[in-house]
Structure 1
Amino acid sequence: MQTREMAVLMRDALLLPQGRVEVRVVDPGHLRMVADVFKGKYALAFATIRPRGSPPCYPTATQCDIIDFNQLEDDSLSIVLEGRQRVNILSAAQAKDKLWMARTLPCRNWQEEPIKGEFELISAALEQFYEVNPDLFELYSQVHLEDAAWVSQRWLEVLPMYNKDKLVLVNQPDCHKTLDFVLQLIKSHVD
């Protein structure tokens, strides 16, 4: 596997492969970064902010594409990102314009697998979650409620947990621990 240089956009959120997130970009440096990504100068990675450390993000990130953008009324830019490939940040440095550039190495995405048995409850609960959160649902042209990996990753993106705890689950070789965790969480709220 080859390393690759990427610009790093850090937020207090999690984005995983096939997930989508809308981000507001205000800072001139970040606006220039968006332009450079569109020009193909480098790829973009979305990373979760870490309270202390350098770089100020966790080493697990997701290479992403900008799939949509809109200028907002206050002249800031809203961009919609879609996660593509999980990556590990091997090293990072902050440029003069305060942007972070990182040397990354791709890691294996979770494999698609059918959701079945008692885990279908997780899929149904995610569908209900999207019904009451239409702004999130609208980001997706299609949902994959039949895919255990897709459903697990969407739950990790939206669950109100500490990011460091989410990343323990993200760094598992497959979605099974996340499925178990979310199922127990749902069952504990049903009982």
Structure 2
Amino acid sequence: MQLPLFPLQLYLLPGGISKLRIFEPRYTRLVKLAMASGEGFGLCMKDSETLCHFGTRAIITDFERLPDGLLGVTVKGVEKFVINEHWQEDDGLRFGDITLMKNWSPTLMKFADRDIANSLRALFEEYPEHATNYPIPDYEDMTWVCQRWLEILPLETNQKQWFMSRRDHRAALSFLHNIIDEQLKKE
């Protein structure tokens, strides 16, 4: 599959929602291509000037004209992918030949994981700007909870890429247990 690519420091996983401001002509073109094809575009991170190996196919769910006259788009992560090769066209827009990856399967919360889900709920209550994108949060699905935590936490690009390469949420869940359980012990 070939997709136009949008390199950003934004880490968006399947089910994740974010708002973007579009101001460069090449990304206006990306929006047009994504809307016309219905397949969306590839959201991928950069490590300095190099595109990272893994990304997320995103679709545009809404758009608006912002007060400053720029185009605002709301995007939702659909599925992860790996970039096989990429190239840049004359206007600077990048494209990639990608292979889609299987999404992490939904997983019901276990009693032992309740603190991780409750901590995310508390964070969303304290910082409603994170919660506004999720009018119906799924705190019972630990895959959803892990993905939202990974999007929010200030991790290094290589750490985010490593989690993205995993086949399921278990590595992320273990990582979150280490962080959140330790924090709860301190309180």
State the TM bucket, normalised to the shorter chain: over 0.9
Secondary structure class of the residue paired with 1:29: helix
1:67 pairs with one of 61, 67, 71: 61
Q: Which residue of 2 aligns with 1:6?
A: 3
1:152 to 146, 155, 170: 146
In 1, the alpha carbon distance for the partners of 2:19 and 2:146 equals 20
Q: Is the 8 A contact 2:63 2:73 kept in 1?
A: yes
Q: One-letter code of the match for 1:146?
A: E
SS of 1:39's equivalent in the other structure is helix
* 2-structure distance, mates of 1:130, 1:159: 13
Cα distance in structure 1, aligned partners of 2:125 and 2:119:
10
What's the counterpart of residue 88 of structure 1?
82
With normalisation by structure 1, the TM-score equals: 0.92
Superposed CA RMSD in Å reads 1.3
Q: 2:42, 2:57 within 8 Å by CA — same for their partners in 1?
A: yes
2:107 aligns with: 113
Task: Tell me the CA shift for residue 110 of structure 1.
Answer: 0.5
Structure 1 residues 93 and 41, CA, compared in 2 at 3 Å: closer, same or farther?
farther
Task: Give the AA of the match of 1:118.
Answer: A
Moved runs in structure 1, 4+ residues, more than 2 A? Answer: none
Counterpart in 1 of 2:116? 122
Q: What one-letter code is carried by the residue in structure 2 that aligns with 1:67?
A: T
Q: Counterparts of 1:113 and 1:135 in 2: how far apart (Å)?
A: 26
Out of 37-46 and 68-77, give the one that drifted further.
37-46
Letter in 2 for 1:123: A
Greater displacement, 145-154 / 38-47: 38-47
Q: What CA distance in whole angstroms lies between the structure 2 residues aligned with 1:37 and 1:169? A: 26
Distance 2:39 2:159 in 1: 30
**Which runs of no fewer than 5 residues in structure 1 stay unpaired?**
none
* CA displacement at 1:43 relative to structure 2: 3.3
1:155: how far off?
Answer: 0.6
Query: Identity of counterpart residues, as a percentage?
Result: 24
Match runs of 1:1-191 below 5 Å: 4-40=1-37, 43-53=40-50, 57-190=51-184, 191=186
Unaligned runs of 5+ in 2: none
Find the residue that maps to 2:37 and give its secondary structure: coil
How many angstroms apart in 1 are the aligned matches of 2:42 and 2:147? 17
Displacement of 1:41 in angstroms is: 7.4
How far, CA to CA, are the matches of 2:2 and 2:38 in structure 1?
Answer: 10
Tell me how far apart the structure 1 counterparts of residues 161 and 114 of structure 2 sit (CA, whole Å). 23
